[in-house]
Structure 1
Amino acid sequence: MNSNLSAIGPSFAYDTRDSATQPHRGVMLSANWLFGLRALGDSYSHDKLQMAANSYLPIGAGTVIALRGALCAAGGNAPYYDLCLFGANNDLRGYVTGRYRDKASWATQAEWRQHVSGRWGATAFVGLGGIAPSAGTIIDKGKLLPAGGIGLRYRPFRSNDVQLRVDLAAGKDDHAVYVGIAEAF
């Protein structure tokens, strides 16, 4: 079966971070609410709300506490591939992408980022989230999902703040290794 996703809606972003790739201070708030309309060619009549808030707090030379909260809610006749899920957006690292997928999800994370020496850094992170059949049932019918892990950072260039990262993470039933450029959030 062929299908199309065509959605339109408002989007909001507010960013006071000192760096997009390796923030040490500031906040990043974002939200978008997209409506899939048949008039635009969408095969489904659904909407999807996604919100996230990140905060970065320097607590000493070379140490940053990074905090993140995220919420997702899909309504109407949302297709399987546009439901809320864990594993794709670095919310709750340690879960296979899409294993936990439903019409509502939430996640909170805290990360300790430490410069170690020269171009090297390390991180430790914990998170807790949930997945549920609807936003209204997150509390009473939601499934709690814990996560945590450690990571290593390397800054290959002295002239900018881009860094490479490797994170080892564990979730409730899963574990994963993440390799990427820039911080997870």
Structure 2
Amino acid sequence: MNKIFFGTILLLLCSFCAPAQTKPDDSTKTSKRHTKKIDFNVMPYINYNRTLDFMFGAIPMMMYKVNKADTISPKSLSGISAIYTTNKSYFIATFNKWYFNEDKWRAQVFLATGNQNAQYFVDDIDVPDFYNYDTKTNIVNFSLQRKVIKALYAGIGYSYSHYDTKYQDDVQPASTTHTNGLQLIMLYDTRDAVYYPTKGDKIKLRWLTYPTWFGNDANANKILSEYDKYFPMRNGTDVLAARFSGKFGLGNIAFEQQVTIGNQDIRGYSEGKYRGDGLMDLQAEYRYNFSKKMGLVGFAGIATIYGSDTSSFNWKLYPGAGVGYRYRAFKTEKFNVGLDAAIGKGDWGLYFRIGEAF
């Protein structure tokens, strides 16, 4: 999912999700009950972010089996997100994760449109400071993976993005950028569950290329790597999760394609100050479940960036730490939503979570 959209989903949970409904089995006329084929919830939100100000929105989501006879595939997830902020930004997106054919195939589709009024730090002008920018965005992202051997998947993907960006006080000329990206994916997945793993490993490597022959203005490449590991604690009641992430931009990386420290890559940074062509981070999180429906998390990590327009930001260490609350959103599946609060180096942030941080 694209950073421009998901960097904005830092929202406060206003109400808990309703449990899936059940009904009598009319065919047997017994007292046995079964859950609906689709578990559906609508979550309203309100939050405050240092960049986007107050945010209001709603996210309806549903979980379901693509084939109800398939007992091996995890449940699929689909949802729509609509968010408006008091600094006049807005975002509308739909997200889908599909698992089918006994988990031999996995697919994801993400569509988004929005207008983001944000800021970034500029130091190579007479008055170094944060300057606002406005980006109108349209995004299409699709990927498909096939199991090759046990626990190993290979896949392809395609992404299209269109950006119209204007900068405050003309610190940079206005720009229109569109990108067409091709993606190769390798995934090694031994987790015991995709939405709330308690043990196992997830290793994901992606190569994204933006060649000129595919309609791009300049050649660029990205290598995205993730290694997540999970350890059961307290006889399997709790989880200790650890993560390494590396995002490496190569070639002519557009401003909108750059990465910033924050959100999934070290919580505690919401100003968008530390931006560059690449980023690496290490983090760990303890997930304490004090009931079947609720839990707490504590986390800490450290990150670094390179390729920043502010050279003094490159290869420095940026720590972040915080705590969070979790609530089980669906009755029939261990899938959490929640809120994290974190502090970083001269910064802080609130983060609404759909699923776990990693």
TM-score by length of 2: 0.48
- 1:48 matched to 2:222: yes
- Unaligned 5+ residue runs, structure 2? 1-174, 309-313
Structure 2 residue corresponding to 1:70, chosen from 227, 245, 249: 245
Q: 1:118 to 1:32 in 2, by over 3 A?
A: closer
Q: For 2:289, what is the secondary structure of its paired residue?
A: strand
Identify the match of residue 286 of structure 2 among 98, 104, 112: 112
CA distance in 1, matches of 2:326, 2:196: 11
Residues 68-147 of structure 1 correspond to what in structure 2 (within 5 A)?
68-88=243-263, 90-96=264-270, 98-133=272-307, 141-147=314-320
Segments of 5+ residues of structure 1 without an aligned counterpart are 135-140
Q: What SS class does the counterpart of residue 339 from structure 2 fall into?
A: strand
Alignment correspondent of 1:137: none
The 8 Å contact of residues 207 and 224 in structure 2, kept in 1 or not, is answered as yes
- Post-superposition offset of 1:122: 0.7
| 2:352 aligned partner | 179
The answer (yes or no) to whether the contact 1:16–1:28 under 8 Å persists in 2 is yes
Deviating runs (4+, > 6 A) in structure 1? none
Q: Which amino acid aligns with 2:349?
A: A
Matching residue's letter, 1:183 = E
- After superposition, give the CA deviation of every residue in 1:41-89 in whole Å (9 maximum; x if it has no partner): 012211111101000000223121000000111111111111232225x
Paired residue secondary structure (1:39):
helix
Instruction: Please tell me the root mean square deviation across aligned C-alpha atoms, in Å.
Output: 1.8
Hey, which of these two has a bigger chunk of strand by percent?
2
Mark the structure with the bigger radius of gyration.
Answer: 2
Correspondent of 2:203 among 29, 50, 55 = 29
1:8 and 1:97 map into 2 onto residues whose CA distance is 30
1:150 aligns with 323
Residue 232 of structure 2: aligned partner: 58
Q: 1:41 to 1:154 in 2, by over 3 A?
A: same
Mapped to 2, the partners of 1:37 and 1:98 lie a distance apart of 28
Is the CA contact (8 Å cut-off) linking 1:86 and 1:97 kept in structure 2? no
Specify which of 320, 342, 347 is matched with residue 169 of structure 1. Answer: 342
| Amino acid of the structure 2 residue aligned with 1:19 | A
Residues 271 and 347 of structure 2 are in contact (CA less than 8 Å); yes or no, is this contact kept in structure 1?
Answer: no
For normalisation by structure 1, the TM-score amounts to 0.89
Count of residue pairs brought into register by the alignment: 179
Q: Tell me how far apart the structure 2 counterparts of residues 122 and 9 of structure 1 sit (CA, whole Å).
A: 36
State yes or no: 1:2 paired with 2:176.
yes
What SS does structure 2 have at the residue aligned with 1:81?
helix
